[in-house]
Amino acid sequence: MSIAERTAREQRLSAAAIAVELCRRCSIGATRQRSVYGEGDSCAELMVVGEGPGETEDRLGRPFVGRAGELLDRMLLAIGLPRERAYIANTVKCRPTLDDGTRLRNRPPDPAEMTNCRPWLDEQIEIIAPRVLLALGAPAAKSFLGPRFSITKQRGQWFEGPRGIPLMATFHPAYVLRLTGGEIEAVKRLVWEDLKAVRAKLDEFARLAQTPQPAVQIDLFGS
Ligand code: SF4
């Protein structure tokens, strides 16, 4: 990737992040503390998409921080990708909340919020043009693959994502952290299988990029 291309991408991402900070398409745009646009390598091969910012993300303006973020970092490192070499974002850029009378609680984004925010995500995917998309959790997977997608039955499978990019879904790190007992080991094994498949797909792209393509024979003189 040339320096000029990287700079152009970074400038577009910065401009979009400023526009997101001003966005008020949904009511959560007014209740959030900070927008959480996304972060990472503008030329990343892997783009990770979660559901939406939680309380800590909302406070810091960064995606996947706190315990779930630490687990995501370990998951990425396990397949040889330090967090800063991936790009990390969410389906919505503002924290969806529920006011229970005493405090604002996290909730999943509703379909209207995901629809409103989709142009921001689509633009990110277009700018970064990752080789692989990894959706974390059912809401993120459904935003790409439709409401009938089942995370328990269809995680670990390859689908065609936006712009024809290979897409896989796996369990959200926050879900893994909520599990207890024997279930946790079984789910961790499944997530590890999914991550290995992502690594294999990235390696496949890298091999293809290195394989010399057969020279195209051109009849310079016509026949
Ligand atoms: S969630 Fe997305 S579309 Fe809605 S206000 Fe926030 S940035 Fe705008």
Ligand 1 proximity of 52 Cβ (cutoff 6 Å): no
Q: pLDDT for 143-162, tens place per residue?
A: 999 999 999 999 999 999 99
Model pTM?
A: 0.92
Given a cut of 50, whether residue 223 has pLDDT beyond it is: no
Ligand 1 proximity of 29 Cβ (cutoff 6 Å): yes
Q: Give the ligand 1 atom nearest the CA of 52.
A: 1
Buried b (16+ CB within 10 A) or exposed e, 156-172: beebebeeebbbbbbbb
User: Domains of the chain: which residue ranges?
Assistant: 3-209
Q: How far is the CA of 94 from the centre of ligand 1 (A)?
A: 6
DSSP-H helix ranges across 36-165: 55-60, 66-78, 111-128, 138-145, 151-154
Q: How far is the CA of 210 from the centre of ligand 1 (A)?
A: 40
- Residue 50, token pair as written in the block: 């979660």
| CATH superfamily assigned to domain 3-209 | Uracil-DNA glycosylase-like domain (3.40.470.10)
- For 24-47, what is the mean pLDDT? 97
The DSSP secondary-structure symbol of 162 reads G
